Amino acid sequence: GAGVSQSPSNKVTEKGKDVELRCDPISGHTALYWYRQSLGQGLEFLIYFQGNSAPDKSGLPSDRFSAERTGGSVSTLTIQRTQQEDSAVYLCASSLRQGVEKLFFGSGTQLSVL
């Protein structure tokens, strides 16, 4: 595809349920980031993947959050036992490689936990 694709664009779930958010980076981009943007707030770093290196998970807010990246391409962010405070827009971004810094963002997944 021409850009970073995220799905679903909107997700409404009940408290306590698990959710999976998907990110398809730009083809050939080896670096992939997940950020969280709460209403009117900044971009909170969650996790960063670079090629085959171990991911930087330092931003994950709790052990309910996890992410994986299969085959160096598609990434899935999983939130277990969702809480209302998890409601936010989850943004994925990719860049060509480490050292090429320009991030291309997806349009995000709006997660609402009722």
List interacting residues with another protein (CB under 8 A).
Answer: 31, 33, 35, 41-45, 48, 50, 56, 58-59, 91, 98-99, 101-103, 105-108
For the bound state, the minimum distance from the C-beta of residue 51 to another protein, rounded and expressed in Å, comes to 11
Comparing CB distances to another protein, the nearer of 7 and 105 is 105
Least distance from C-beta 54 to another protein, angstroms? 11
> Shortest distance, CB of residue 52 to another protein, whole angstroms?
14
The CA distance from 106 to 24, in Å, is: 9
59 or 72: CB nearest another protein? 59
SS3 at position 35: strand
Q: Is 60 within 8 Å of 68 (Cβ atoms)?
A: no
Eight-state DSSP code of residue 97: B
Whether the Cβ atoms of residue 57 and residue 49 lie closer than 8 Å to each other: no
CB count within 10 Å of CB 26 equals 18
Q: Which is nearer to another protein, 19 or 93 (CB)?
A: 93
Three-state DSSP class for residue 66? strand
Least separation in angstroms between residue 95's CB and another protein is 9
